[in-house]
Chain A
Amino acid sequence: MHELSIVANLFEILEEKAKEKKAKKIVSVKLRVGKLSGVVPEFLITAFDIYKKETIASKARLKIEGVPLKIQCLRCGAEMIKDDFVFICSSCGSTELKTLSGTELLLERIEMEV
């Protein structure tokens, strides 16, 4: 349940960006949350709705795009999505793999009224 501290970090960035762009309010916030980011999107939304009261984002909506865990095999080059978290290449069995996406916890964009 570290979603509340992550939302606190999110608001630090939101307030900084809003000030920079001289925004009057924040309308929506979009995150990209990887399957292996270690956070639960539903809890992020709950924490966001608690935290946003009396902030510049008090009416804002949090949108979350889930990102699957995508890896590439460094031996045969195959790319695959791993829902089971098994870090073994499905085509050649190699364990020399590169993670392409799915670990991110990213603030993608902010919609503001200026």
Chain B
Amino acid sequence: MKKKDVLVLEELLGSNKKIASQIREKLEQRGILTANFLGSPGSGKTSLLEKIAERMKPGFKMAVIEGDIETERDAERIRAKGIPAWQIVTGGACHLEAKMVGKIFSELPEGLDFLFIENVGNLVCPASYDLGERIRCVLLSAPEGDDKPKKYPKAFTTSNCLIITKSDLIPVLPFNLEQAQKEALEVNPKLEIFVTSALKGSGMDELVGFFLSSLHDLRQKNA
């Protein structure tokens, strides 16, 4: 018996990364802006998507992929707004992977402008998986507390955009908005920050405007 030491230097998530790059390339070629929403369970991801659907400018078409451990409920909520939605039921897995998104790719309608992916509610695991998105948004709801960016750095360092949700509750919570924004920017100085309330509607127009201008940037790049 001979011992052999084999140098490999291979990324463990290399196969996911490869699929994600292929998805990104195809989506961007079609001029579809894709955003991956990360956030804890109950941070308001689905409610935010419902409001985005309501406020989307006429003439723009969006679709949603919902990731959950169980049930079709979130996709049903989105469909009720007249938006095509696919539900990925992970059956226990705590995150979405690129290959799951890849399976839906061929079903996406023609003429789509936006594809929003709602990841499984979890501020840890989804951060490690590229899904082929152009924009990653991390949600932080006010009731969760202002200390989350430092506690869950990976979700914040890998995102382009931070959406603070349920901001209408801030007056009755010990949530320091300035502190939350400061710590988020320390972890990732390039974060675009939106302070929103899906319930009251504040900050929603700015957020939809951000997606529209990101779509414009993508199409400019393609032109």
Contact = CB atoms under 8 A, between A and B. Distances in A.
Contacts of A106: 9-12
Contact of B15 (A12, A107, A110, A113): A12
B186 interface: yes
A17 B6 contact: yes
A1 to B, nearest CB: 6
Contact of A9 (B3, B6, B12, B127): B12
Name the interface size band of chain B. 20 to 34
A109 to B, nearest CB: 5
Contacts of A10: 12
Among A21, A84, A104, A107, max chain B CB count under 10 A is at A107
Interface string A81-109: 00011111000000100000000111111
A78 interface: no
B8 interface: yes
Interface residues of A, number: 35
Contacts of B93: 2, 5
Contacts of B186: 85-88
Nearest to B16: A9
A104 B128 CA distance: 11
A57 B187 CA distance: 39
Interface of B: 1-13, 15-16, 93-95, 97, 124-125, 127-129, 150, 153-154, 157, 186-190
Interface of A: 1-2, 5-6, 9-10, 12-13, 17, 21, 23-24, 27, 31, 36-39, 84-88, 95, 104-114
Given A6-B128, A88-B189, A109-B5, 4 more contacts: A2-B129, A87-B189, A106-B9, A107-B8
